[in-house]
Amino acid sequence: METYTADQFNRCRTQLAPYVHRTPVMRSSQLDSLAGASLYFKCENFQRAGSYKIRGATNALLGLLEQGPVPAVVTHSSGNFAQALSLAARNVGIPAYIVMPSNAPEVKKEGVRAYGGKIRECKPTLEAREQESERVRLETGALFIHPSNDPMVLLGQGSACAELLEDVPGLAYVVAPVGGGGLLGGTSLAAAFSGTGCEAVGAEPRMVDDAYRSLQSGRIEGNTHTETVADGLRTVLGSYTFPVLRQYVKTIVRVEEAEIIRAMWLVWERMKIVIEPSSAVAVAGVLKDPERFRDRQVGIILSGGNVDLGRLPF
């Protein structure tokens, strides 16, 4: 596997800092009571473009710029990474092309346009996405950035956990949702590099528990169903993220759909903040496994807050 060093990680953090918010850490006595633990919520829902994805997108872009001129960047995504890369590219004055399936919700397209991203529509198949990305690359010289399976993306995502560990010394665990594995991978590296003994724990919808099964089987597994309410976690691990999880992550807690929705409701109602279902997965994971977390100090990465308010699951 790729080798990552604390020095490299810290260099990324320094480069990244001017482009991202240092998001606040929130507490909730009510959620603490429910969990029987002391919870520290890292609010990436307040991050620029509404999720932690701007961290990895920016880090990857800065990494490319160090190596030479970057005429443009391209990715295929209909989720948070699409907006994040659009904003990251605008911040450094580079065009971003976002390949999106023609049936992507209009609200997602508007989000991309609002951050200056150029949308290229394609048929809603993986093959069509990849063909269109390749076409953009040939036309414009754009460099491709993957939403999760990229060492620099992974390192960038870890900066959220690093900030949390600085702000809250003494965390026993940091819990992050796992989809493509960029956030959990980066989080586990940040925890390891911190030298504090803090352990990264993953949380995953049981309906798409490919990461859980991949750690069990020792190879990258897929999903047969992907209808989870946590739409950000439908993707699977990749060649860069899987080895990191295998080395640094011992535990992935799986949660049911009803538990995700309840956790989302609890955070909205008690903490008065808007989080997306994928973030609620991490909260549900902590509530699901009280023995593990009881009386400990536990960080939770609230990964994002981009939800369609007209289509809530409650």
Interface residues toward a second copy, by CB under 8 A: 24, 45-46, 50, 265, 268-269, 271-275, 305, 309-310, 312, 314
Q: Which CB atom, from 201 or from 266, has the smaller least distance to a second copy?
A: 266
Residue 37 near residue 293 (C-beta atoms within 8 A): yes
> For 5-31, what is the HEC assignment?
CHHHHHHHHHHHHHHCCCCCEECCHHH
Q: How far is the CB of 47 from a second copy (least distance, A)?
A: 9
Smallest distance from a second copy to CB 230, Å: 17
Helix 241-248 to helix 210-217 angle, to the nearest 10 degrees? 70
In angstroms, give the least distance from the CB of 312 to a second copy: 7
- Tokens describing residue 92: 């450094």
Nearest to 200 by CA among 299, 78, 304: 299
Q: Residue 183 phi/psi, 5° resolution?
A: -70, -50
26 vs 183, beta carbon nearer a second copy: 26
Residue 95 vs 313, nearer CB to a second copy? 313
The smaller minimum CB distance to a second copy, of residues 54 and 189, is found at 54
User: How near is the Cβ of 278 to a second copy at its closest, in Å?
Assistant: 14
Helix (H) or strand (E) holding 299: strand 297-302
In whole angstroms, how far apart are CA 58 and each of 4, 75, 227, 240?
A: 18, 13, 30, 18
Which of 63/232 has CB closer to a second copy?
Answer: 232
Please state the closest distance from residue 247 (CB atom) to a second copy, in A.
33
Burial class (CB in 10 A: 0-12, 13-18, 19+), 313: middle
Shortest reach from residue 260's CB to a second copy, in Å: 15
Residue nearer to a second copy on the CB measure, 1 or 312: 312
Q: Helix or strand or coil: residue 297?
A: strand
Tell the residue number behind the tokens 């009280």, with chain if given: 290
CB 286 within 8 A of CB 31: no
Radius of gyration, alpha carbons of the chain: 18
Task: Closer to a second copy by CB, 27 or 123: give it.
Answer: 27
3-state secondary structure 171-188: CCEEEEECCCCHHHHHHH
Are residues 306 and 276 in contact, defined by beta-carbon separation less than 8 angstroms? yes
Give the shortest CB-69-to-a second copy separation in angstroms: 29
Q: How far apart (Å, rounded) are the C-alpha atoms in residues 170 and 208? A: 32
How far apart CA 122 and CA 102 sit, in angstroms, is 6
Shortest distance in whole angstroms from residue 62 CB to a second copy: 22
Q: Which is nearer to a second copy, 115 or 240 (CB)?
A: 115
